[in-house]
Amino acid sequence: MLTAYTSDEIRAAERELMARLPEGTLMRRAATALAVACVNVMPRVYGSHVVLLVGSGDNGGDALYAGADLARRGARVHAVLAGRKTHEGGLAELLRAGGRTVPARDEAAAADPALAALLGRADVVLDGLVGIGGTGPLREPYATLARLTAGLPGVVVAVDVPSGVDASTGEVAGEAVSAQLTVTFGAVKAGLLIDPGAGRVGTLHPADIGLGPYLPDPGVTALTGPDVADRLPRPGAESDKYRRGVVGVVAGSDRFTGAAVLSVGGAVRAGAGLVRFASAAEPVAQVRARWPEAVTTILAPGEGVGEVGRVQAWVLGPGMGTGDDAHAPARSVLDTDVPVLLDADGLTLASRDPGLLRRPAPTLITPHAGELGRLLGVPRAEIEARRLHHVRRAARELGVTVLLKGSTTLVAEEGRPVRVNVTGTPWLATGGTGDVLAGIAGAFLAGGMSCYDAASCAAHLHGLAGRLAAGEPGAGQAPIAALDVALHVPAAVRALMASA
């Protein structure tokens, strides 16, 4: 399992470790790891051009020591000194190794065309402007320098965290560096996994500097492939369709028949023992045609699910509509004593009638940012800007498990670490993929998984299926449709089992 920490937790661990080491040891370890990572992305070191963006803090010192290492190997190194002060030991070592300095301590100096030209000639640019303590918008000249790193032909390497990204939350308040590689020291910072900051990290390279024994229990985690494989329900010799889990699905309408097909498909392909589907006549006909495995029930307008049959979990909401007729089946599902996954139109109903979520049985909601915004009464943009804050708030205030969909999917449950999904592809940003995800998670709930594990494992599997559908790495990628994702779920399960 991948663990991630706040900047305060990292700093506390660093203080404990530094108290046991000679002065400067930790910075030397970090600088060595940084220099090695730079060497690995350079076509050659001797004769290459490296530019260091150096702020006032320890990240600037890391960059200077790494730059000195690269200069001793024959690289031409320029340090752009942007802070009010500069790490004296690192600067002295860089100068002894043959590095040069360029002052840029105000906005005018940072905007000098000669500096932009210098950056444009660099093979590698090291961003050591702001470290893990940086919060809020970058001040000048850092903001201008961060802006200058956009679109450079060379490789931009962030030192510990891209400047302008909040290391604890992933929030970005203004200008920020977009790196191709982030070398983070000691442990992964939570903000490097959560958008919008995660989108500026590039390849994440954790470098071990010895902090492990001094770190607390993490507040943010991410499941790896083996973690998910260990949690997936597996049939045994005595299994039958009922023991494997019966999931009920209420989805679709005369207008949105596809949501029914996709959510049922996600459940079927994720290994549900039996899927019971209930809806209006047209979506039932579509489900019967595409998924004959499902047992279907036609609901009359305003009818509940009392005649559908016994299930171990429900999926409620994809494409079911939000009119008066939708409230009765929603209420009948939420009045049951089994776990319920609430998605899409079901969430819209809950935003109008919050009492729907007040139930003693486990409840998992799967909103996108707009839907969560309606539930919490805040704008969508605010959810997207502060994803970690609002997913925690929703789990606490609504008393449910929350899977917040988006460019980085987060799973929150009060009293548990927030889980970040690290699989997926931008090709999943297409209509209907959320319906497939709901079906997968519903199958896992029916198979006996907790809401927390079902949501986390479903997001991981859904992302992996999306990658497989879009194309294997190295073979080129292509657009996908939501049904492609459902059809690739078994291949994703096989890949996970092979990784265990």
- 407 annotated among ligand-binding-site residues: yes
Alpha-carbon distance of 265 to 257, in angstroms, equals: 13
Is residue 180 packed enough to be buried (19+ CB in 10 Å), middle (13-18) or exposed (0-12)? middle
478 — pLDDT class (breaks 50, 70, 90): confident
Task: Check whether residue 255 and residue 208 sit in a common domain.
Answer: no
> Per-residue pLDDT tens for 134-165?
889 999 999 999 999 999 999 999 999 999 99
Q: What are phi and psi of 184, to 5 degrees?
A: -110, 140
The phi-psi region of residue 202 (left if phi > 0; otherwise alpha if psi is between -120 and 50; otherwise beta) is left
- 137 annotated among ligand-binding-site residues: yes
Q: Please tell me the predicted confidence (pLDDT) of residue 233.
A: 85
- 154 annotated among ligand-binding-site residues: no
- 423 annotated among ligand-binding-site residues: no
> Per-residue pLDDT tens for 74-114?
999 999 999 999 999 999 999 999 999 999 999 999 999 99
pTM of the model: 0.94
Task: Identify whether the C-beta of residue 162 lies closer than 8 Å to the C-beta of residue 131.
Answer: no
- 321 annotated among ligand-binding-site residues: no
CA atoms within 13 A on the CB side of 45: 15
Q: Please tell me the predicted confidence (pLDDT) of residue 472.
A: 63
The DSSP code sequence of 188-251 is EEGGGTSTTGGGGT-EEEEE--S-GGG----SEEE--HHHHHHHS----TT--TTTT-EEEEE-
Task: Check whether residue 168 and residue 230 sit in a common domain.
Answer: no
Q: Is pLDDT above 90 for 184? A: yes
Domain of 202, CATH number, reads: 3.40.50.10260
- 266 annotated among ligand-binding-site residues: no
- 135 annotated among ligand-binding-site residues: yes
Q: Is pLDDT above 70 for 231? A: yes
> Per-residue pLDDT tens for 268-322?
999 999 999 999 999 999 999 999 999 999 999 989 999 899 999 999 999 999 9
Distances (CA, A) of 188 to 40, 170, 182: 20, 12, 10
471 — pLDDT class (breaks 50, 70, 90): confident
Task: Check whether residue 381 and residue 437 sit in a common domain.
Answer: yes
Task: Check whether residue 97 and residue 175 sit in a common domain.
Answer: yes
474 — pLDDT class (breaks 50, 70, 90): low
User: Angle at CA 382, nearest 5°, toward 354 and 162?
Assistant: 140
Alpha-carbon distance of 314 to 386, in angstroms, equals: 30
Task: Check whether residue 379 and residue 239 sit in a common domain.
Answer: yes
Average pLDDT, the chain: 95
- 142 annotated among ligand-binding-site residues: yes
Q: Please tell me the predicted confidence (pLDDT) of residue 235.
A: 83
The last residue of one of the domains, among 185, 200, 219, is 219
> Per-residue pLDDT tens for 376-412?
999 999 999 999 999 999 999 999 999 999 989 999 9
Task: Check whether residue 254 and residue 208 sit in a common domain.
Answer: no
> Per-residue pLDDT tens for 323-343?
888 999 999 999 999 999 999
- 368 annotated among ligand-binding-site residues: yes
Task: Check whether residue 171 and residue 298 sit in a common domain.
Answer: no
- 164 annotated among ligand-binding-site residues: no
Q: Where are the beta strands (DSSP E) in 70-167?
A: 76-81, 100-103, 124-128, 155-159
> Per-residue pLDDT tens for 54-65?
999 999 999 999
Task: Check whether residue 370 and residue 449 sit in a common domain.
Answer: yes
- 271 annotated among ligand-binding-site residues: no
Distances (CA, A) of 207 to 46, 87, 132, 292: 24, 22, 15, 51
Other beta carbons within 10 Å of 354: 11
- 456 annotated among ligand-binding-site residues: no
- 61 annotated among ligand-binding-site residues: yes
Task: Check whether residue 208 and residue 230 sit in a common domain.
Answer: no
β-bridge pairing 100-103 and 76-81 = parallel
Report, in angstroms and rounded to the nearest whole number, the Rg of the chain calculated over CA atoms: 26
Task: Check whether residue 359 and residue 335 sit in a common domain.
Answer: yes
Task: Check whether residue 303 and residue 156 sit in a common domain.
Answer: no
The last residue of one of the domains, among 172, 191, 219, is 219
The token duo for 146 is 């961060």
Average pLDDT over residues 47-53: 98
Average pLDDT over residues 125-130: 98
- 259 annotated among ligand-binding-site residues: yes
- 471 annotated among ligand-binding-site residues: no
Strand 295-298: give its sheet, edge to edge. 188-189, 2-5, 220-222, 418-420, 410-412, 401-404, 363-365, 340-342, 313-316, 246-250, 274-279, 295-298
Q: Is pLDDT above 90 for 240? A: no
Q: Which of 279, 237, 244, 273 is nearest to 258 (CA)?
A: 279
- 432 annotated among ligand-binding-site residues: no
User: Angle at CA 416, nearest 5°, toward 411 and 422?
Assistant: 35
Q: Please tell me the predicted confidence (pLDDT) of residue 59.
A: 95
For the chain, how many residues are written? Answer: 500
Domain count, the chain: 2
28 — pLDDT class (breaks 50, 70, 90): very high
Q: Which of 347, 440, 349, 448 is nearest to 400 (CA)?
A: 347
Domain of 337, CATH number, reads: 3.40.1190.20
- 60 annotated among ligand-binding-site residues: yes
Q: Is pLDDT above 70 for 40? A: yes
Domain boundaries, position 383 = 225-499
The last residue of one of the domains, among 188, 219, 250, is 219
Q: What are phi and psi of 52, to 5 degrees?
A: -105, 130
Task: Check whether residue 254 and residue 384 sit in a common domain.
Answer: yes
Average pLDDT over residues 190-218: 96
Task: Identify whether the C-beta of residue 355 lies closer than 8 Å to the C-beta of residue 383.
Answer: no
Average pLDDT over residues 414-427: 94
Alpha-carbon distance of 53 to 64, in angstroms, equals: 9
* Helix/strand/coil for 389: helix
- Find the Cα–Cα–Cα–Cα dihedral 265, 267, 268, 269, rounded to 10°: 80
Average pLDDT over residues 23-35: 96
- 131 annotated among ligand-binding-site residues: yes
Q: Please tell me the predicted confidence (pLDDT) of residue 324.
A: 86
Alpha-carbon distance of 393 to 409, in angstroms, equals: 15
- 160 annotated among ligand-binding-site residues: yes
Q: Please tell me the predicted confidence (pLDDT) of residue 476.
A: 65
> Per-residue pLDDT tens for 162-180?
999 999 999 999 999 999 9
Alpha carbon 259 to chain centroid distance? 25
The DSSP output letter for 256 is -
